[in-house]
Amino acid sequence: MLNFLSLTNSSSNQGFERAFGPTKLATSRLKLTQQSLCGEIDTWDYQWNAHLLMNYGLAVIPERNLVENIGFENDGTNLHSKPNWIANEVSDDHH
């Protein structure tokens, strides 16, 4: 199981290097995860990705969009208007 506190130690690059090799990408992803854990970046996905990488995890990506994003109002946490790159609708394409 991932010990998030170990990610504050710069030598704990094991999951990232296993996934990306000893590359700048591995170092960058570790740094972004550490910044997220320290509250410098307000996001959840870096910690989730670190957990997957360090525990040999897998993720499932559905064939069609199952999510409708609803947080694009003035009281949204990160975005106050919908970016044009987000379709923002559940796909009704049933195969």
Sequence spans of domains, the chain: 4-54
Angle formed by the axes of helices 24-37 and 45-54, to 10°?
A: 120
CA 44 to chain centre: 6
| DSSP-derived secondary structure letter, 53 | H
pLDDT tens digits, 37-82: 888 988 888 888 888 888 888 888 888 878 777 767 777 666 667 7
Q: What is the reported pTM?
A: 0.57
CA angle 3, 13, 32 (to 5 degrees): 85
Task: Tell me how far CA of residue 9 lies from CA of 16, 28, 60, in angstroms.
Answer: 13, 14, 29
> Is residue 21 very low, low, confident or very high in pLDDT (cuts 50, 70, 90)?
confident
